[in-house]
Amino acid sequence: MNLKDQNWKNFTTNHLGDWHGIWTKYSPQGEVAESFQSLRSFRSNSNETEIVQKNHYAYSDRRRVEQSWEYNQLSNSLSNGVFIPEIESMRANFFESGHAAWVSTKLKPDSYFAVELFFKYQELRHSVGIVYDDSGCLFRTANIREDSTGFPSQYWSNETNQLPE
């Protein structure tokens, strides 16, 4: 199996289904900017060549936001990773262990640079997102704790403040 097909297989093997989580976004100074509940849902056709991803976000002020993407193995799986059509400047690389990285492919002047690193253990995923603004300064970081067994997680804390003062 070539690397492109193996990457897609690693994705479908480890990340399909529902991932219930809590996102906590931090300012460049390390202060909590916001925290909210999420559901990232990945569904595929029977032969796992087409994926529909729906992200649902529930905020404490009762706002609800949904984003969705559709991608497929033929069009969106390239030699340098999987891409979401609306975000072609980023690629996702998936490892057999379940870990993954979603990374900007080019450093360009006057544009954002982002990376999300996924660490997976059985039904748990922990990811860290880092975004730099168009002038190259740290814009935001995010801590995302997810559990594929449901919400609330029996493993992850719901606390926004992860460390004692």
CATH 2.40.128.20 at 3-147, yes or no: yes
Per the CB < 8 A criterion, the answer to whether 84 and 105 are in contact is: no
25 CB contacts (<8 Å, ≥6 apart)? 32, 33, 34, 35, 140, 141, 142
130 CB contacts (<8 Å, ≥6 apart)? 114, 115, 116, 138, 140, 141, 142
From 76-80, 106-110, 117-121, 148-152, the region with the lowest mean pLDDT: 106-110
Per the CB < 8 A criterion, the answer to whether 28 and 149 are in contact is: no
Work out the pLDDT band at 162, boundaries 50, 70, 90. Answer: low
Q: What is the pTM of this model?
A: 0.90
From 29-33, 69-73, 95-99, 160-164, the region with the lowest mean pLDDT: 160-164
